[in-house]
Structure 1
């Protein structure tokens, strides 16, 4: 393996290189966690890796097989119901530290947050799914410009394992009690066991990747990441390229270095966002066109594992409109060939697509 091949190997690890028969929940469980603040695009992150339609993925989320909550880093992720409790237990403290100061500035110390959680538990008890606005209304917390109280309250409730996403209410996401959606496991992991499990899951599904890549993705500092890797070192393969060690799973399958592939991937997709540095997939000169310094990622077009442009979609009444922007000029024949790769997205949406 050489540095130029890493992107193609990552496609294989992330289940993008070949078609598979995995369910949406299996895709999420394989990846460990999928960043999901952009709900619509996060569903396509799952759909682009299996044959499920958007409706089928929505059903997996509505039924509680896939959970959307704050975990790992201070943003939403999709996680499998099978992983929600141990992963929450592992990452809760580190994420809470990042918003504790803001919570106090808004008048919420631990005692007050516990009181609010008790009220939320009563509101949602009995599978009563409510939107954030409905919860705030019941708590008599009025909307105010610049007031982060609703965000702080619900993020804390998620991190404490009290709530997670409920069933969709039209186009609005609701909240439900986590224990009413997913039963608590009978056994628990130590922090060391959980971090080692998370590291193994990451390198098997995202490798080849570095220690700093795992540290970034997991939210844990490099010292903790190193300890986790030391624990599972015998369960991984590694390779050193340009004095940098890359780790990957032992079940890794050799891939054709010249395998042709084109993918239209969503904003915030794991293929870019899950790595500390992204030069393996996108040239430095193009990175500002695909993501910003403050963490906004655009939907991307990959050819053979390399980002060659961006795209956006507009949902119409009877079709979806796709507009593309390539980093270099392409002739019409080349574009026509690339545009064939939008077919999986058309199948996923179950609607016609116009693309230009």
Structure 2
């Protein structure tokens, strides 16, 4: 589905946003609309991310942006056509499944992504594992990764496991480590980035950090980081996120002035401090941008308590394209 834009009439009566959208959008359930509102995908007058109790006023300009958030209801989950996709499953038992998601794969069906997602592949996998009655709506994903971020994901295989893992995410007891390559030379060896993260009113595809007096526009977010290696113009870092907001690591390092390498949404697809780079370095970075054609971000490890009350730890090495760029940087700058 493409971006939806609706302008309220001059004589529009004040009604709740969800009721207004139900009247003006065909083939969208009340449950879907409420999830769109919950995930901040409904914007009024190009500025306000509305809450569910917002009341539409005459001439309000309403936008629903393209999104891959999970807005499907139970019936739509059942209607997903399974696809045979080569999933890199690292572990599986009766309660959970751990998958290494490649960069380029969308996790969840949504606007513009009706095929080829991780969910389509999981449905095929479970139907061919004597789990024909597997309920994707009551189990399934407990967290997500961006399309071009690679690495570890946990899948719950029953409703109890999903609730058990959700509770750990809510209590922030699940440990998630990411590896990232960022532009520039960080001043500190380690640090904590905090801020109220929300949708950028100037560009709805990206997130931004709001000031304290604008905190109502975003949600509080925390990222811990430490430097692993320095390459003069680039820094290789480890990140542990205490909150899991959309684009959190990407937006946080953009906020610091150090966008992720080849992150096109946050400006990392351009050579950092190009005027200070030699011609040789410019050629080097252009080569690296071709080798790693997406943001340099990988979910490398997960630590959590299994639904059977055992502590589990998983590690997944960085993918080959990321590894090659790191090796080239070590040769060029060390």
Provide the TM-score with structure 1 as the length reference.
0.23
Q: Which has the higher strand share?
A: 2
The normalised TM-score by structure 2 is 0.24
Q: Of the two structures, which has the highest relative contact order with CA contacts closer than 8 Å and spacing of 6 or more?
A: 1
